Amino acid sequence: MEYDARWVVHQREGQSMDGYLVRPPHVSHPLPAVLVIQEIWGPDEHIQDMARRFAEAGYVALAPDLYSRGGRPAPLSADSIERLKAFLDTLPPGSWWDQEVLKEHMSQRAADEAAALQATMEALFGPRDMAGMAQDLVAWMGYLRDAPESRGMPVGSIGYCMGGALSFQLAAMGTRLSTALVYYGSAPDDRQLSQVSCAVYGFYGGKDPRITEAVPGVADKLSALGKPFQYQVYADAPHAFFNDSRRSYHVDSARDAWMRSLAALHHHLS
Protein backbone atom coordinates (compact mmCIF):
# COMPACT_ATOMS: atom_id res chain seq x y z
CA MET A 1 0.00 0.00 0.00
CA GLU A 2 1.15 3.53 -0.69
CA TYR A 3 1.34 5.94 2.19
CA ASP A 4 1.52 9.66 2.60
CA ALA A 5 4.15 9.33 5.34
CA ARG A 6 6.60 11.95 6.50
CA TRP A 7 8.34 13.37 9.54
CA VAL A 8 6.84 16.64 10.75
CA VAL A 9 8.06 19.24 13.23
CA HIS A 10 6.05 20.93 15.97
CA GLN A 11 6.98 23.34 18.76
CA ARG A 12 6.45 23.45 22.51
CA GLU A 13 7.89 26.23 24.63
CA GLY A 14 10.16 27.28 21.77
CA GLN A 15 11.66 23.82 21.34
CA SER A 16 11.12 21.69 18.28
CA MET A 17 9.72 18.16 18.40
CA ASP A 18 9.56 15.51 15.68
CA GLY A 19 6.67 13.23 14.80
CA TYR A 20 5.98 10.54 12.20
CA LEU A 21 2.73 11.41 10.37
CA VAL A 22 0.91 8.96 8.10
CA ARG A 23 -2.37 9.25 6.23
CA PRO A 24 -4.10 7.01 3.68
CA PRO A 25 -3.35 7.76 0.03
CA HIS A 26 -5.76 9.46 -2.36
CA VAL A 27 -7.69 11.25 0.41
CA SER A 28 -8.04 15.02 0.37
CA HIS A 29 -10.51 15.68 3.20
CA PRO A 30 -9.74 15.67 6.96
CA LEU A 31 -9.85 12.31 8.74
CA PRO A 32 -10.12 11.22 12.38
CA ALA A 33 -6.70 10.93 13.99
CA VAL A 34 -4.91 8.43 16.20
CA LEU A 35 -2.02 9.52 18.39
CA VAL A 36 0.32 6.49 18.49
CA ILE A 37 2.42 6.72 21.65
CA GLN A 38 5.78 4.99 21.74
CA GLU A 39 7.18 2.32 23.97
CA ILE A 40 10.32 3.18 25.88
CA TRP A 41 12.32 2.48 22.70
CA GLY A 42 11.01 5.58 20.95
CA PRO A 43 9.14 5.74 17.63
CA ASP A 44 11.17 2.85 16.22
CA GLU A 45 10.27 0.77 13.19
CA HIS A 46 7.59 -1.13 15.14
CA ILE A 47 5.83 2.08 16.22
CA GLN A 48 6.15 3.53 12.72
CA ASP A 49 4.62 0.29 11.41
CA MET A 50 1.73 0.71 13.85
CA ALA A 51 1.16 4.23 12.52
CA ARG A 52 1.02 2.84 8.99
CA ARG A 53 -1.42 0.14 10.10
CA PHE A 54 -3.77 2.77 11.51
CA ALA A 55 -3.45 4.71 8.24
CA GLU A 56 -4.45 1.53 6.40
CA ALA A 57 -7.52 1.43 8.65
CA GLY A 58 -8.52 4.90 7.47
CA TYR A 59 -7.06 7.26 10.06
CA VAL A 60 -4.43 9.93 10.17
CA ALA A 61 -1.80 8.54 12.53
CA LEU A 62 0.88 10.50 14.34
CA ALA A 63 3.70 8.88 16.33
CA PRO A 64 5.53 11.62 18.27
CA ASP A 65 9.19 11.22 19.15
CA LEU A 66 9.02 11.93 22.87
CA TYR A 67 12.81 12.11 23.12
CA SER A 68 13.16 14.77 20.43
CA ARG A 69 12.11 18.02 22.12
CA GLY A 70 15.19 20.21 22.16
CA GLY A 71 17.24 17.48 20.45
CA ARG A 72 17.93 13.87 21.39
CA PRO A 73 20.97 13.31 23.63
CA ALA A 74 23.51 10.83 22.26
CA PRO A 75 22.54 7.94 24.58
CA LEU A 76 18.95 8.22 23.28
CA SER A 77 19.81 8.34 19.59
CA ALA A 78 17.91 5.80 17.50
CA ASP A 79 21.13 3.91 16.75
CA SER A 80 22.10 3.79 20.44
CA ILE A 81 18.69 2.41 21.39
CA GLU A 82 18.83 -0.23 18.64
CA ARG A 83 22.26 -1.35 19.87
CA LEU A 84 20.91 -1.69 23.40
CA LYS A 85 17.91 -3.70 22.18
CA ALA A 86 20.23 -6.05 20.34
CA PHE A 87 22.36 -6.44 23.48
CA LEU A 88 19.36 -7.11 25.73
CA ASP A 89 18.15 -9.77 23.32
CA THR A 90 21.35 -11.73 24.05
CA LEU A 91 20.46 -11.99 27.75
CA PRO A 92 18.47 -14.90 29.21
CA PRO A 93 14.72 -14.17 29.34
CA GLY A 94 13.72 -12.23 32.44
CA SER A 95 17.26 -11.24 33.39
CA TRP A 96 17.35 -7.59 32.28
CA TRP A 97 17.28 -6.39 35.89
CA ASP A 98 19.72 -8.97 37.25
CA GLN A 99 22.80 -6.89 37.94
CA GLU A 100 25.10 -9.92 38.05
CA VAL A 101 23.93 -11.10 34.63
CA LEU A 102 24.25 -7.59 33.22
CA LYS A 103 27.74 -7.20 34.64
CA GLU A 104 28.85 -10.54 33.23
CA HIS A 105 27.56 -9.81 29.72
CA MET A 106 28.82 -6.23 29.74
CA SER A 107 32.30 -7.51 30.65
CA GLN A 108 32.37 -9.45 27.38
CA ARG A 109 32.11 -6.21 25.38
CA ALA A 110 34.83 -3.70 24.59
CA ALA A 111 35.09 -0.99 27.25
CA ASP A 112 33.79 1.83 25.04
CA GLU A 113 30.89 -0.29 23.78
CA ALA A 114 29.95 -1.33 27.32
CA ALA A 115 30.05 2.28 28.49
CA ALA A 116 27.76 3.36 25.64
CA LEU A 117 25.32 0.53 26.37
CA GLN A 118 25.28 1.44 30.04
CA ALA A 119 24.64 5.11 29.27
CA THR A 120 21.68 4.23 27.03
CA MET A 121 20.28 1.82 29.60
CA GLU A 122 20.46 4.48 32.31
CA ALA A 123 18.85 7.06 30.02
CA LEU A 124 15.98 4.73 29.09
CA PHE A 125 15.31 3.02 32.40
CA GLY A 126 16.24 5.80 34.80
CA PRO A 127 13.90 8.60 35.94
CA ARG A 128 11.79 9.98 33.10
CA ASP A 129 9.93 13.27 32.76
CA MET A 130 6.50 11.71 32.27
CA ALA A 131 4.76 15.01 33.03
CA GLY A 132 6.81 16.75 30.34
CA MET A 133 6.07 13.98 27.84
CA ALA A 134 2.36 14.28 28.62
CA GLN A 135 2.51 18.00 27.88
CA ASP A 136 4.32 17.22 24.62
CA LEU A 137 1.40 14.95 23.70
CA VAL A 138 -1.10 17.70 24.53
CA ALA A 139 0.83 19.94 22.13
CA TRP A 140 0.71 17.24 19.45
CA MET A 141 -3.06 16.96 19.92
CA GLY A 142 -3.22 20.66 19.14
CA TYR A 143 -1.20 19.99 16.01
CA LEU A 144 -3.67 17.33 14.89
CA ARG A 145 -6.66 19.57 15.54
CA ASP A 146 -5.15 22.27 13.30
CA ALA A 147 -3.43 20.17 10.62
CA PRO A 148 -5.23 20.03 7.25
CA GLU A 149 -5.08 16.22 7.36
CA SER A 150 -7.25 16.04 10.51
CA ARG A 151 -8.60 19.54 11.19
CA GLY A 152 -11.79 19.52 13.23
CA MET A 153 -11.94 15.73 13.48
CA PRO A 154 -11.94 13.61 16.67
CA VAL A 155 -8.64 12.38 18.07
CA GLY A 156 -7.96 9.17 19.99
CA SER A 157 -4.79 7.84 21.55
CA ILE A 158 -3.18 4.44 21.80
CA GLY A 159 0.01 3.73 23.70
CA TYR A 160 2.23 0.78 24.49
CA CYS A 161 4.03 0.20 27.82
CA MET A 162 5.33 3.67 28.76
CA GLY A 163 3.08 4.99 25.99
CA GLY A 164 0.14 3.12 27.50
CA ALA A 165 0.64 4.95 30.78
CA LEU A 166 0.81 8.22 28.87
CA SER A 167 -2.34 7.41 26.89
CA PHE A 168 -4.18 6.80 30.17
CA GLN A 169 -2.78 10.04 31.60
CA LEU A 170 -3.81 11.98 28.50
CA ALA A 171 -7.42 10.89 29.09
CA ALA A 172 -7.31 12.77 32.41
CA MET A 173 -5.88 16.06 31.15
CA GLY A 174 -8.96 17.80 29.76
CA THR A 175 -7.77 17.56 26.16
CA ARG A 176 -11.07 16.65 24.45
CA LEU A 177 -9.60 13.25 23.68
CA SER A 178 -12.33 11.01 22.24
CA THR A 179 -10.95 7.71 23.56
CA ALA A 180 -7.74 6.31 25.06
CA LEU A 181 -6.40 2.81 24.44
CA VAL A 182 -3.86 1.48 26.92
CA TYR A 183 -1.60 -1.48 26.18
CA TYR A 184 0.09 -2.81 29.33
CA GLY A 185 0.58 0.66 30.79
CA SER A 186 0.19 1.79 34.39
CA ALA A 187 -2.86 3.79 35.43
CA PRO A 188 -2.53 7.35 36.76
CA ASP A 189 -3.04 8.16 40.42
CA ASP A 190 -6.45 8.45 42.05
CA ARG A 191 -6.64 12.22 41.59
CA GLN A 192 -6.05 11.88 37.85
CA LEU A 193 -8.44 8.94 37.59
CA SER A 194 -11.20 11.19 38.89
CA GLN A 195 -10.53 13.52 35.94
CA VAL A 196 -10.75 10.92 33.16
CA SER A 197 -13.05 12.42 30.55
CA CYS A 198 -13.34 9.75 27.83
CA ALA A 199 -13.78 6.02 27.45
CA VAL A 200 -10.62 4.04 28.23
CA TYR A 201 -9.82 0.54 26.94
CA GLY A 202 -7.05 -1.58 28.45
CA PHE A 203 -5.16 -4.59 27.10
CA TYR A 204 -2.96 -6.55 29.49
CA GLY A 205 -0.93 -9.74 29.75
CA GLY A 206 -1.70 -12.31 32.41
CA LYS A 207 2.03 -13.02 32.70
CA ASP A 208 2.77 -9.35 33.44
CA PRO A 209 1.78 -9.17 37.12
CA ARG A 210 3.62 -5.92 37.86
CA ILE A 211 1.07 -4.10 35.67
CA THR A 212 -1.89 -6.43 35.48
CA GLU A 213 -2.47 -7.12 39.17
CA ALA A 214 -3.45 -3.47 39.69
CA VAL A 215 -6.04 -3.43 36.90
CA PRO A 216 -9.12 -4.78 38.78
CA GLY A 217 -8.63 -2.13 41.45
CA VAL A 218 -8.37 0.58 38.79
CA ALA A 219 -11.56 -0.74 37.20
CA ASP A 220 -13.39 -0.60 40.54
CA LYS A 221 -12.29 3.00 41.13
CA LEU A 222 -13.36 4.11 37.67
CA SER A 223 -16.68 2.29 37.99
CA ALA A 224 -17.37 4.06 41.29
CA LEU A 225 -16.63 7.36 39.56
CA GLY A 226 -18.94 6.53 36.67
CA LYS A 227 -16.02 6.51 34.20
CA PRO A 228 -16.19 4.04 31.28
CA PHE A 229 -13.33 1.52 31.37
CA GLN A 230 -13.22 -1.82 29.58
CA TYR A 231 -10.25 -4.14 29.73
CA GLN A 232 -9.00 -7.49 28.52
CA VAL A 233 -6.43 -9.69 30.24
CA TYR A 234 -4.83 -12.32 28.01
CA ALA A 235 -3.90 -15.15 30.36
CA ASP A 236 -0.97 -16.53 28.37
CA ALA A 237 0.46 -13.20 27.24
CA PRO A 238 3.55 -11.50 28.70
CA HIS A 239 4.34 -7.81 28.86
CA ALA A 240 4.66 -6.24 25.39
CA PHE A 241 2.68 -9.08 23.83
CA PHE A 242 1.65 -6.88 20.90
CA ASN A 243 5.17 -6.01 19.72
CA ASP A 244 5.80 -8.34 16.79
CA SER A 245 9.45 -7.29 16.61
CA ARG A 246 10.25 -8.72 20.06
CA ARG A 247 10.43 -12.16 21.62
CA SER A 248 7.46 -11.17 23.80
CA TYR A 249 5.05 -11.24 20.82
CA HIS A 250 1.97 -13.41 21.47
CA VAL A 251 0.10 -13.70 18.21
CA ASP A 252 -3.28 -14.96 19.46
CA SER A 253 -3.56 -12.19 22.05
CA ALA A 254 -2.32 -9.57 19.59
CA ARG A 255 -4.86 -10.59 16.97
CA ASP A 256 -7.77 -10.26 19.40
CA ALA A 257 -6.48 -6.97 20.81
CA TRP A 258 -6.10 -5.51 17.30
CA MET A 259 -9.71 -6.36 16.46
CA ARG A 260 -10.97 -4.84 19.71
CA SER A 261 -8.83 -1.73 19.24
CA LEU A 262 -10.16 -1.06 15.75
CA ALA A 263 -13.72 -1.55 17.01
CA ALA A 264 -13.16 0.94 19.85
CA LEU A 265 -11.62 3.53 17.55
CA HIS A 266 -14.42 3.12 15.01
CA HIS A 267 -17.02 3.55 17.74
CA HIS A 268 -15.53 6.72 19.19
CA LEU A 269 -13.91 8.41 16.20
CA SER A 270 -16.48 7.82 13.46
Cα 195 from Cα 227, distance rounded (Å): 9
The reply to whether 35 and 157 lie within a common domain is yes
Between 54 and 90, residue with greater pLDDT? 54
Share of the chain above pLDDT 90, in %: 92
Quick check: 33 and 150 in contact, CB under 8 A?
A: yes
pLDDT at 67: 97
Spatial distance between the Cα atoms of 109 and 86, rounded to a whole number of angstroms? 13
Whole-number Å distance between alpha carbons of 96 and 102:
7
Q: What is the mean pLDDT of residues 150-159?
A: 98
| Domain count of the fold of the chain | 2
**Whole-number Å distance between alpha carbons of 141 and 178:** 11
Tell me the per-residue pLDDT of 236-270, one tens digit each, with 9 for 90 and over. Answer: 999 999 999 999 999 999 999 999 999 999 999 99
Query: Residue 161: its pLDDT value, please?
Result: 97
User: Do residues 162 and 204 both lie within one domain?
Assistant: yes
Instruction: Tell which of 83, 98, 125 closes a domain.
Output: 125
- Mean pLDDT for 92-97 is 83
Judge if 106 and 166 occupy the same domain: no
Tell which of 125, 160, 193 closes a domain. 125
Other Cβ atoms within 10 Å of 164 Cβ, number = 27
Are residue 61 and residue 84 in the same domain, yes or no? no
Same domain, 160 and 120: no
Supply the mean pLDDT for the chain.
96
Domain that holds residue 111: 74-125
Written as one letter, the residue type at 184 is Y
CATH of the domain at 236: 3.40.50.1820
Q: Does one domain contain both 12 and 106?
A: no
pLDDT score of 236: 97
Least confident among 25-29, 42-46, 133-137? 25-29
Same domain, yes or no: 148 and 98: no
Query: What distance in Å separates the CA atoms of residue 16 and residue 70, rounded to the nearest whole number?
Result: 6
Last residue of a domain, one of 125, 142, 158: 125
- pLDDT-derived band at 2 (thresholds 50, 70, 90) equals confident
Claim to verify: residue 197 and residue 242 sit in the same structural domain:
yes
> Which candidate, 92, 71, 134, 55, places its Cα nearest to that of 247?
92
Does one domain contain both 55 and 84? no
Q: What is the mean pLDDT of residues 196-218?
A: 98
Angle between helices 111-125 and 78-88 (to 10 degrees): 100
Q: Inform me whether the pLDDT recorded for 10 exceeds 80.
A: yes
- Dihedral over Cα of 54, 10, 156, 58: its sign: negative
Is the pLDDT confidence value at 93 over 80? Answer: no
For the cut 90, the answer to whether the pLDDT of residue 41 exceeds it is yes
SS (H, E, C) the chain: CCCEEEEEEEEECCEEEEEEEEECCCCCCCCCEEEEECECCECCHHHHHHHHHHHHCCCEEEEECCCCCCCCCHHHCHHHHHHHHHHHCCCCCCCCCCHHHHHHHHCCCCHHHHHHHHHHHHHHHCCCCHHHHHHHHHHHHHHHHHCCCCCCCCEEEEEECHHHHHHHHHCCCCCCCCEEEEECCCCCCHHHHCCCCCEEEEEEECCCHHHHCCHHHHHHHHHHCCCCEEEEEECCCCCCCCCCCCCCCCHHHHHHHHHHHHHHHHHHHC
Question: Looking at the structure, do residues 25 and 99 belong to the same domain, yes or no?
Answer: no
217 & 112 share domain:
no
- Determine contact, residues 150/32, Cβ cutoff 8 Å: yes
pLDDT surpassing 80 at residue 71: yes
In this predicted structure, what is the pLDDT of residue 53? 97
Tell whether 196 and 119 lie within a shared domain.
no
